[in-house]
Amino acid sequence: MVSMGDQQQCQIITATAALFLAVCGILLLVVPTEDVKEPPEFMYGIVLDAGSSHTAMFIYKWPADKQNGTGIVSQHSECHAKGGGISSYAGNSGGAAHSLEECMEQAMQEIPKSRHKLTPLYLGATAGMRLLNISKPKESDEVLKEVGDKLKTYPFSFKGATILSGQEEGAYGWVTVNYLLENYIKYGFVGQWLSPGRDTVGALDFGGASTQITFETKQMVENKDNLMKLRLYGRDYQIYTQSFLCYGRDQVLLRLLALLMETQGSDSSIVHPCYPAGHSDSIKLSSVFGTPCNKRQTPYKPDDELQIKGTGNYDQCLGNVSRLFSFNKCSYSRCSFDEVFQPNITGNYMAFSAFFYTHSFLQEATGISIRSPEHLEDATRVVCNMSFQEMTNKVQGQGSRLKDYCAVSAFVQVLLVNGYGFDNLSFPHISFQKKAGDTSVGWSLGYMLSLSNLLPAEDVLLRKSLSSSAWVWDSPGCWILSHFYVHLQLASRQAELYRHSQSTQRVSCQRSWDLQLCR
């Protein structure tokens, strides 16, 4: 039972606490406030990489408040469209647009609906469309218009469908490589973005229809077409970049077939030293010569089939592959091949796309760790001299690509060593990679990084907060009230504990067998 005195004490404490809260509430209403930044929301961007063999979609995200003028971009997810590249749908109305639907639906689901209208959407087409634009410019325009009209139907901010030049493809790949390696900026442990002060890394890209080499150089670039200047994170970069159209994996294989047909003088059957012994194949002549990389001067029947028999001979394969390059003429102080100027190779490089897959296959099939030109030659020789059955037993899951690895490996050997000039000192500085962390290596991330400079940074959200000066002029009054309130709470708590202990003691005495506990 609560006594009259206890009731009066509770009433006094309650009234005092209410008074304290009221006074503090008034103070909080009248003191000055200042705006404090809330963490920004993420911006999203979509890049469709319309390559020669297939289309890949990459979703990127970055904070709305950009660092040093460029968004801090990371890969959110990716999607690989079924079917061939958009150039393969030339003359097939609706095919290119339809091929993008599944990936675009994925983007609709993954990007928050509130950000759809603010999400830029880009489609960049590479060497496959460059070739189509050369051979059939009208059909190239129709394909671009078709995919553009399709992408406009989605609630994103469509920015256009364009064909990238080879130099742009190389430069954006270089941007990607160095961004993933944190060679521009990195987040320091003190919570600031810092410049690591490291040298940049060159980029080696090997696609289906072209190959690119790009690296920063302080040497004079004698051909200004190879010179690009970029500005990222407040710094300027001068890079050399060169794209070789028709030197991509798929086009090289077709050019090699055309060369063998020419040297053997047959449109019906050939022996192929780069195909493994025990393997036979056939291909329509229209597939061999239906590209600007393989213009046939003499008439041929497109529907006729070429029969191919593999012989698996490394030396003969290497000799034929070398004939795809021209090393004889150079009007500059130094050339790589095909009369193209190139500065001396310096620094580290990342090789990706088909470079990675070829390097990975060679190491798996031969067990040779490839760290020098000699290792590359040895591994290629072993693979090229394998029978088809031996190759099948060594490496699983390659399907129709298996027969091509000898030719592609020989091409990579000639390109890197004889073409670009990697030797025993520089070759070990090549890193063959597919991904860096969770991000795919390619030109699309660099494209998004560069284009994010064109996106306005959103105004950050603001909330009200007490200014630091408010705690200066209000501190005496608040301190006195707080001090008084704390003492009242302590006194109230002590009284409550005392009453509780008395009540507990009486109950314990009644239940205990030891009566001395009640004293």
C-alpha to C-alpha distance for 214 and 332, rounded to whole angstroms:
18
Rg of the chain taking only CA atoms, in angstroms: 35
Q: Could you tell me the maximum CA-CA distance found in the chain, to the nearest angstrom?
A: 122
C-alpha to C-alpha distance for 409 and 43, rounded to whole angstroms:
41
C-alpha to C-alpha distance for 278 and 515, rounded to whole angstroms:
103
The three-point CA angle 395-399-404 to 5° equals 80
CB 135 within 8 A of CB 97: no
C-alpha to C-alpha distance for 346 and 451, rounded to whole angstroms:
28
Buried b (16+ CB within 10 A) or exposed e, 70-81: bbbbbbbebbeb
The single-letter code of the amino acid at 314 is: Y
C-alpha to C-alpha distance for 500 and 508, rounded to whole angstroms:
12
Tokens (6 digits) for 196: 């690591």
Q: Which of 172, 237, 149 is nearest to 200 (CA)?
A: 237
Query: Tokens 């509780």 belong to which residue?
Result: 500
Burial class from Cβ neighbours inside 10 Å (0-12, 13-18, 19+) for residue 427 reads buried
SS3 call for 216: strand
Adjacent-strand bridge partners of 60: 45, 75
Query: Tokens 């709305």 belong to which residue?
Result: 64
> Annotated catalytic, 41?
no
> Of 78, 168, 169, 216, which one is the catalytic site residue?
169
As annotated, the active-site residues are 169
